[in-house]
Structure 1
Amino acid sequence: MSDTHTVVLVEGASDQAAVEVLAERRGLDLAAEGISLVAMGGATNIGTYLREYGPAGHDLRLAGLCDMGEEGDFSRAIERAGLGAGLGRSGLEALGFFVCVADLEDELIRALGTDAVEQVVEAGGELGSFRTMQRQPAWRGSNTHAQLRRFMGAGSGRKIRYSGLLVAALDLDRVPRPLDLLMTHLLGSRSR
């Protein structure tokens, strides 16, 4: 951590994989730029990591990515860490914390479109498994987007495996807003 000046806090390994792939595609060498990605093992751990890397700890520049359902937890923890007060979404973004609607998988599926996501699943050798899930009574009436979100969240390591693959399949002009803003924020840290 001695060369690190910025820590990006993400909920889990799937978010970390997505950010790493996007950084590489944008020509950003995170380590060389002094940026460290930290998968927290869940959004509820945000306070611990803010204490470790924020003003009360290593006093590093912080950024992050969270799901919409965790936005309140992030806001309260950031406020407790002394980084801001009364933070709404725009306040979080000004500090470098960006919110995915509803989660990163949802953002990526919307950005790519379901046909392109199915192609990624097929290339991953799991289209048959996805089709089997689609035929299950609980999922038969759901739209393909919802089915793909469920499929990504089911199965050991599937979210981690596909998050990077989905980012790799994106046109760089269709990057979901939270990921795009995070990259812009990190690129802006080069001049600081």
Structure 2
Amino acid sequence: MPPVVVLLEGASDAAVVEVLWAARGRRTRDPAAAHEVELRDMRGITNVGRQLDELAGRATVLGLCDAPEERFVLRGLRRQGYAVADRADLARLGFHVCDRDLEDELIRALGPDRVQVVLEELGELERFRAFQRQPQWRGRDVGDQLHRFAGTASGRKLLLARRLAEELTDRSPLTSPVPCPTPSPVPRPLAALVADIERRVTA
């Protein structure tokens, strides 16, 4: 049977989906599943058209993208003959869109306080405090500061994205928990994507 391939913009996106998929007790190579799952790092959303061309007729293809880049996915799917006009059409095909981007979805889901506890755990909190003191970022919204900080050093975006996804699944408890009366919901596009993967692999 054809595999299920999930097209993801970069390594951090693939890491987040991998954590959420594993939290369901599933593996990308699961002998109990009807279909194998591949989480494919496209190394940039502009490669989506080429990936769709390569996979046409060979796999069930799903995907995740950021709002500013959804036009590339729409264009690639139209070239494959799909009648897609908007985000609702994308969702019906199993392609889901983060309102801003993946990091923003994770930060909003957990809240800035909880994200800062994760930074402390990772040994990055003092660097974040120094970043906040920079003139161009002083006094700005903490969520925006965290979003920008995540991408200011090599490897930080991937490491932080993975850890924030683990927080959503309660797989790695905080060392200094911030009061959180209810579990943080998985952001809508991520929850929808994981549910679509589940449906495809068990079909």
Task: Give TM class, smaller chain.
Answer: over 0.9
1:122 alignment partner AA = E
Provide the C-alpha distance between the structure 2 equivalents of 1:40 and 1:62, rounded to a whole number of angstroms.
13
Provide the C-alpha distance between the structure 2 equivalents of 1:157 and 1:151, rounded to a whole number of angstroms.
12
- Does the residue aligned with 1:91 lie in a helix, a strand or coil? helix
What is the TM-score when the length of structure 2 is the normalising length?
0.88
What is the TM-score when the length of structure 1 is the normalising length?
0.93
Question: Unpaired segments of 5 or more residues in structure 1?
Answer: none
2:62 alignment partner AA = A
In the TM superposition, 1:1-192 aligns within 5 A as 5-32=3-30, 33=33, 34-55=36-57, 59-82=58-81, 84-170=82-168, 174-192=185-203
Cα deviation per residue 1:105-164 (whole Å; 9 max; x = unaligned)? 000000000000001111000000000000000100211000000011110011111111
1:5 positional shift:
1.0
2:55 alignment partner AA = Y
Provide the C-alpha distance between the structure 1 equivalents of 2:161 and 2:184, rounded to a whole number of angstroms.
18
Provide the C-alpha distance between the structure 1 equivalents of 2:114 and 2:128, rounded to a whole number of angstroms.
14
Contact 1:101 1:107 in 2 (8 A): yes
Provide the C-alpha distance between the structure 1 equivalents of 2:156 and 2:56, rounded to a whole number of angstroms.
32
Contact 2:12 2:162 in 1 (8 A): yes
1:65 alignment partner AA = L
The number of residue pairs the alignment matches comes to 186
1:4 positional shift:
5.8
Provide the C-alpha distance between the structure 2 equivalents of 1:76 and 1:86, rounded to a whole number of angstroms.
9
Contact 1:4 1:35 in 2 (8 A): no
RMSD: 1.3
Provide the C-alpha distance between the structure 1 equivalents of 2:168 and 2:160, rounded to a whole number of angstroms.
12
- Identical pairs, percent: 45
1:173 positional shift:
5.6
Contact 2:46 2:72 in 1 (8 A): yes
Provide the C-alpha distance between the structure 2 equivalents of 1:144 and 1:90, rounded to a whole number of angstroms.
31
2:39 alignment partner AA = L
Question: Unpaired segments of 5 or more residues in structure 2?
Answer: 170-182
Detail structure 1 runs of 4+ shifted over 6 Å in the superposition.
none
Contact 1:4 1:36 in 2 (8 A): no
